[in-house]
Amino acid sequence: MTKTRATIIGWGKCVPPVKLTNADLEQMVDTSDQWIVERTGMHERRISHVEVTDLAEVAAKRALASAGLEPTDIDLLVLATVTPEITLPSNACFLQERLGAVNAAAFDLNAACSGFVYSTAVASSMIEAGIAQRALVIGAEKLHFLMDYHDRNHCILFGDGAGAAIYEGRADGSGVLANDLGADGKAGQAMVSPVLGTRGQLDRPRDPASDRLHFEGKTVFKHAVRGMEGSVRRTLDEAGLSVDDVDLVVPHQANFRIIEATCNRLGVPMEKVVLNIADHGNTSAASIPMALNDALTDGRVRPGATVLFTAFGGGLTWGSNVMVWGDRIEPVATSDADLPPTDKTVFDLLETNRAFFAPFHKAGSDS
């Protein structure tokens, strides 16, 4: 008897309309298009004028249409995010209500940039165990909320967006074959955002000096390459596969140089790698499902293909999933769900961030 596994049957993404280009960044920080492209591979990223649940809702509705399902067909909803709209209730419960997915258990998952891989491992394991039959997994982020747009070291990297996938239990040989998850909390201080937690007194004022994203790029780069390489090898070993068996790699879109270095160490040719980092930047938990959606749109996924996800993020966390694609690569239907329009410019949307962090930089220049 063929084992029941979790197969992707629907997919969708949501891209905010407002672009933050490298030329825009040149007007805000001491940087240049050449400097950014050489170090990251990024040309632009999107800035959201709505909340993270709004992004997730559009991606989810597009994934449901792609699968030909109704919201009531879903019995598990997992929303991976590091930028929740609120803490309680979970954003997944917000989303469940908006979609009308009344039969679904719902929860948020925070594994930073590894969130979609972690969520895939959770959903596929629950489907294999018979706890769920169809799972809607979304990665959604509004990362610009955390950014100091006076600091060129990290504000150039991150963008907003959402991606979704629907997993269904199948016993036809397709589906998730193996997962690998890991974390190194000792190294977690290399990437810290204290903004959304309960640390400190209830009446503690927001302070730009302490509420800034702490990001050690060189440390993260080193751990990312090692972490993803090891995770991929363990996942393939568990599935009884080799690197040569992989038809398509969908990595977290953190930085082109990280992706390239990891693939070089694994011996994966870049022709097998899905890249959309030039247009979207690093969208954390949203990056893999957004890139997967692009790969399907571009005709890069084939029925029966062996597809690999791998990611690395704050925590520090890492993980990989390997799967055999099912028989369908075209959406059953499309959704007209979309974000509301906006007449705001990117500078309008970033004005609050710029004003909040300005005193920190003024104090630094006065000292």
**CATH code for position 267:** 3.40.47.10
Q: Residue 273 carries which DSSP code?
A: B
pLDDT at 122: 98
Q: At 37, which helix (H) or strand (E)?
A: helix 33-40
Q: What is the pLDDT of residues 77-89, one digit of tens each?
A: 999 999 999 989 9
As for how many domains the chain has, the answer is 1
pLDDT at 191: 73
- CA distances for 256 relative to 57, 221, 225, 277, 319, angstroms: 29, 11, 11, 7, 18
Looking at the domain assignment, is residue 81 inside a domain? yes
Looking at the domain assignment, is residue 343 inside a domain? no
Q: Residue 263: pLDDT above 60?
A: yes
With cut-offs at 50, 70 and 90, classify the pLDDT of residue 51: very high
pLDDT at 362: 80
Q: Are 354 and 47 in contact (CB under 8 A)?
A: no
Looking at the domain assignment, is residue 336 inside a domain? no
Looking at the domain assignment, is residue 346 inside a domain? no
What is the C-alpha end-to-end distance of the chain, expressed in Å?
71
**Residue matched to tokens 């258990």:** 105
Q: Residue 204: pLDDT above 80?
A: no
Q: Which residue from 64, 48, 335, 28 is spatially nearest to 156, judged by alpha carbons?
A: 28
Looking at the domain assignment, is residue 348 inside a domain? no
Q: What is the mean pLDDT of residues 293-297?
A: 98
Q: How far apart are CA 196 and CA 82, in angstroms?
A: 9
pLDDT at 336: 96
Q: Residue 365: pLDDT above 70?
A: no
Q: What is the mean pLDDT of residues 352-360?
A: 92
Q: How far apart are CA 258 and CA 222, in angstroms?
A: 9
C-alpha atoms less than 13 angstroms from C-alpha of 293 in its C-beta half-sphere? 27
Looking at the domain assignment, is residue 342 inside a domain? no
Q: What is the mean pLDDT of residues 268-289?
A: 97
Q: Which residues are catalytic?
A: 113, 252, 282
pLDDT at 6: 98
The residue range of the domain holding 272 is 5-194+205-331+353-366
Q: How many other C-beta atoms lie within 10 A of the C-beta of residue 131?
A: 13
pLDDT at 210: 77
Identify the bridge partners of residue 13 per DSSP, sorted by sequence position.
Answer: 163
Q: What is the residue type of 361?
A: H
Q: What is the pLDDT of residues 126-183, one digit of tens each?
A: 999 999 999 999 999 999 999 999 998 889 999 999 999 999 999 999 999 999 999 9
Looking at the domain assignment, is residue 341 inside a domain? no
Q: What is the residue type of 59?
A: A
Looking at the domain assignment, is residue 337 inside a domain? no
Q: Is 222 exposed, middle or buried (0-12, 13-18, 19+ CB in 10 A)?
A: middle
Q: What is the pLDDT of residues 215-226, one digit of tens each?
A: 777 788 788 899
Q: What is the pLDDT of residues 14-33, one digit of tens each?
A: 999 999 999 999 999 999 99
Q: Are 253 and 102 in contact (CB under 8 A)?
A: no
Q: Residue 1: pLDDT above 70?
A: no
Q: Are 301 and 295 in contact (CB under 8 A)?
A: yes
pLDDT at 364: 62
To the nearest whole number, what is the mean pLDDT of the chain? Answer: 94
Q: What is the residue type of 77?
A: L
